[in-house]
Amino acid sequence: MEALRERVSDDHEYLRDDGAFVFHHPPKYLWERSPDTIDRELIWQDYHLYIHVPFCRKICTFCTFERRQLHRGAIDWFVELLDREMDLYQNQDRFDLAKIQSVYLGGGTASLLSNDHIAHILKRLRAEFGLRGEETEITLESEPGTKKPADLQVIRKLGVNRISIGAQAFDDAQLKLLNRSHSVQQTLDMITAAKQAGFDNLHIDVMYGLPGQTMARWQETVRRTIDLEPTHISAYPLIVFPGELLDRSLEKNTLPGRPDKETINEMREYATAEFKAAGLFRYSTAEFARPGKECRYVQSTWDSSDYLGFGPGAYSRHGHLLWEDDVIHPAYERKIQSGEKPLGKRYEMAPEQQLQRDIAMGLCLLEIDIDELQKKAGCVFENEFLETYGQLEEQGLLDREGSRVFLTEKGVRYATYVMKCFTTQ
């Protein structure tokens, strides 16, 4: 804490505003290679479910998720592997008390699943994993150009009630730089078709801080996004991870340079103000929604909920237990074919670690309730928390009302730094 105290009088060069939040705590290098199975029966009750479809038509320059170039037969074979993975969980865990709170079909490109694949997955979730009722949020993450209007009508009748469309930018030149497969017109066509199919919960994904992106080009993207009247928007800053394809391309000057940090912050502030004026209110560091249309799955990834993931690289949490499916696709495939759960790494959190994780990650939703998180973790973190909170409040990054702690507007910009302060006690 002394180092944190000394920083109060410094300038803000040390503050991270790159959007690379605390996605994992304890950090991944501490996770251990998992045995073939979790060594106990897990009883699933209220939880969220994610399915990772690891295929794309093209590999985007900015993406670091587990993904592969689509090839003939890949999706059919993947769904067969997915079936076997689901069987392995059915054989070990208990789902008789389960109730799925949200389903997210993501990737990769989840909209590469055929209508029959989607029908089959949802049928299994309803019959065996606790998917109940028509009100449960079911999201299909989609790339423009991957579904026809007739497909969207079928998918809506199957029970998918939320469509997430990865527009990223409303500028064909910008999309080409990102190696996206779609055009602006395909985005517009898909949004129109989704509305006509009866999707009244429409999400659009856009990004800022892109190579060659000016403030004027970002303002155009924001304006066009609002004009399409979505119920939910994600506006993410581009994150450049060291050594990844995008980082190498920028280093070699094969892509235009990115905006500077101050311009990127102005882009964030501009979008926040414009979305709010249009009735879309920020409820996380990067998510905006009309009242009542907040994404339940997005909230679950930050708010200490239990969630179960299927597919290569998918993450799961059950209370204090964390694990991931094997990230490498051939390893995922090999384990399933040999009758093993495709587990990669796992970590069993001590109560103090669980509380640190839930404080840090919970701040992505702009506020946390310390009393609630302490009760859930089964431990008290009050002294260390108060010291850290005091320093961050002095820096103008946090505010507090009773047991509730809030990110300030400045804290939203430097959320990465704030989150890390609570995981380095």
Nearest CA to 75 out of 24, 106, 117, 23 is that of 117
CA angle 163, 165, 170 (to 5 degrees): 150
Query: What is the pLDDT, as a whole number, of residue 4?
Result: 47
The pairing of strands 46-53 and 307-310 is parallel
CA angle 212, 217, 219 (to 5 degrees): 140
Nearest CA to 108 out of 145, 72, 54 is that of 54
Q: Which ranges in the chain are annotated with CATH 1.10.10.920?
A: 1-26+351-425
Reported as a pLDDT band with limits 50, 70 and 90, residue 2 is: very low
Amino acid symbol at 289: A
Average pLDDT, the chain: 89
pLDDT mean over 263-283: 97
**Cα(284)–Cα(294) distance, rounded to whole angstroms?**
9
**Cα(67)–Cα(53) distance, rounded to whole angstroms?**
8
Share of the chain above pLDDT 70, in %: 89
DSSP 200-245: -SEEEEEEES-TT--HHHHHHHHHHHHHT--SEEEEEEP---TTSH
**Cα(297)–Cα(316) distance, rounded to whole angstroms?**
13
Residue 276 backbone zone (phi > 0: left; psi -120 to 50: alpha; other: beta): alpha
Enter the tokens of residue 319.
Answer: 């209370």
Query: What is the pLDDT, as a whole number, of residue 5?
Result: 43
CA angle 46, 50, 55 (to 5 degrees): 175
Domain 31-300 CATH class label? alpha beta
For residue 288, give every residue at least 6 positions away whose Cβ sits within 8 Å of its Cβ, in sequence order, or none.
232, 233, 234, 235, 272, 275, 276, 280, 281, 282
Enter the tokens of residue 85.
Answer: 């993975």
- Determine which of 124-138, 233-247, 334-348 has the lowest per-residue pLDDT on average: 233-247
Enter the tokens of residue 161.
Answer: 């009630």
Contact status, residue 137 vs residue 103, Cβ threshold 8 Å:
yes
**Cα(75)–Cα(79) distance, rounded to whole angstroms?**
6
Reported as a pLDDT band with limits 50, 70 and 90, residue 6 is: very low
Enter the tokens of residue 220.
Answer: 């155009």
Query: What is the pLDDT, as a whole number, of residue 9?
Result: 38
What's the fold here for domain 1-26+351-425? Arc Repressor Mutant, subunit A (1.10.10)
CA angle 264, 419, 218 (to 5 degrees): 15
Reported as a pLDDT band with limits 50, 70 and 90, residue 22 is: confident
For residue 46, give every residue at least 6 positions away whose Cβ sits within 8 Å of its Cβ, in sequence order, or none.
99, 101, 305, 306
Cut 0.85: pTM above it:
yes
pLDDT mean over 171-178: 85
For residue 301, give every residue at least 6 positions away whose Cβ sits within 8 Å of its Cβ, in sequence order, or none.
307, 361
Neighbours of 248 (CB within 10 A): 13
Q: Which ranges in the chain are annotated with CATH 3.20.20.70?
A: 31-300
Reported as a pLDDT band with limits 50, 70 and 90, residue 33 is: confident
DSSP β-bridge partners for residue 273: none
DSSP β-bridge partners for residue 163: 140, 202
State pLDDT tens for residues 117-142. 999 999 999 999 999 988 999 999 99
Per-residue pLDDT at 328 exceeds 70: yes
Q: Which residue has the higher pLDDT, 25 or 140?
A: 140
Query: What is the pLDDT, as a whole number, of residue 73?
Result: 77
pLDDT mean over 259-285: 96
